[in-house]
């Protein structure tokens, strides 16, 4: 056990030991809910190094862990060879370079299957529909019933539940939403899992104003 401790605290493994302490501390913060796994994604681009496609913290954790283990094993083996002086110093440098390259190669292999677990873009959200116009697909829309078809910004369509506020429908001169009419989705109700819809007005359509 002593030789493993000496190797972990000796050159070059102590460099990876310090990095491993940081990695363990970071994941403890993630488990505690203090930070997120993608906290540093906007600051570092790993694609040029061939280990992109996963959060920076995941790639760095893999790189550090493999480098630490390989450096530790090589340092223990080097200690058994009873070399000293310049030869030992050069051997330690070779361990540093070799452990780093091995860790980079292994990390490249590991991030490929992990890439599918971390898509580049977030999945679609119902909140993406807020602010878009829709086409009513039911005979009426009131505070308890209604469906509408909405086209997302990527061109896909979805049938969603919609409701019109009772105060609006109670007015005799208020526009009535019925099958085929156009409405504006202006809010989403998480509890009821439906959108609040209002009669369409071109002045309120963000796509029309942008054009």
Distance CA 132, CA 52 (A): 34
97 and 151 inside one domain: no
Which one of 100, 117, 134 terminates a domain?
A: 117
Distance CA 135, CA 104 (A): 52
15 and 105 inside one domain: yes
Distance CA 88, CA 107 (A): 28
| Chain segment 24-41, per-residue pLDDT in tens | 999 998 888 888 777 776
CB contact at 8 A, 47 and 71 = no
**pLDDT block averages, 10 residues each, the chain of length 211:** 85 94 92 79 65 84 95 89 82 94 92 71 70 91 91 82 71 69 91 89 53 47
94 and 178 inside one domain: no
Which one of 87, 117, 147 terminates a domain?
A: 117
Amino acid 3: pLDDT: 82
27 and 113 inside one domain: yes
Residue in the structure block whose two tokens are 């280990």:
51
Please report which residue ranges of 10-52 form alpha helices under DSSP H: 13-31
Residue in the structure block whose two tokens are 């409701």:
163
Token code pair at residue 186 = 């202006």
202 and 102 inside one domain: no
Residue in the structure block whose two tokens are 């019109």:
164
How many domains does the chain contain in total? 2
| Chain segment 66-95, per-residue pLDDT in tens | 999 999 999 998 888 877 788 888 999 999
18 and 76 inside one domain: yes
Amino acid 211: pLDDT: 47
Distance CA 183, CA 148 (A): 9
Distance CA 12, CA 131 (A): 57
Buried b (16+ CB within 10 A) or exposed e, 54-79: bbbbbbbbbbbbbbbbbbbebbeebe
Per the structure, the complete domain to which residue 141 belongs is given by: 126-210
Distance CA 132, CA 151 (A): 8
Amino acid 209: pLDDT: 47
Report field, pTM of the whole predicted structure over 0.75: no
Amino acid 161: pLDDT: 93
Q: What CATH number has the domain bearing residue 160? A: 2.40.50.140
105 and 27 inside one domain: yes
Which one of 94, 117, 140 terminates a domain?
A: 117
Phi, psi of 64 (to 5 degrees): -65, -45
189 and 206 inside one domain: yes
CB contact at 8 A, 46 and 56 = yes
8 Cβ contact partners less than 8 Å away, ≥ 6 residues apart: 14, 17, 72
């Amino acid at each position: 056990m002593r030789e493993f401790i000496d190797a972990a605290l000796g050159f070059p493994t102590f460099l990876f030991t310090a990095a491993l302490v940081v990695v363990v501390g970071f994941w403890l913060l993630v488990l505690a809910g203090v930070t997120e796994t993608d906290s540093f994604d906007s600051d570092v681009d790993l694609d040029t190094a061939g280990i992109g496609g996963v959060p920076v913290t995941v790639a760095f954790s893999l790189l550090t862990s493999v480098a630490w283990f390989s450096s530790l094993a090589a340092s223990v083996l080097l200690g058994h060879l009873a070399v000293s002086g310049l030869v030992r110093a050069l051997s330690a440098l070779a361990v540093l370079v070799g452990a780093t390259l091995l860790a980079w190669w292994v990390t490249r292999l590991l991030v490929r299957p992990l890439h599918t677990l971390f898509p580049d873009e977030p999945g679609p959200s119902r909140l993406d529909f807020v602010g878009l116009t829709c086409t009513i697909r039911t005979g009426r829309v009131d505070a308890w019933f209604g469906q509408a078809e909405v086209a997302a910004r990527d061109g896909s369509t979805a049938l969603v539940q919609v409701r019109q506020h009772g105060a609006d429908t109670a007015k005799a001169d208020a526009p009535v939403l019925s099958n085929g009419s156009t409405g504006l989705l202006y809010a989403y109700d998480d509890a009821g899992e439906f959108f609040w819809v209002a009669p369409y007005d071109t002045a309120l359509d963000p796509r029309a104003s942008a054009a």
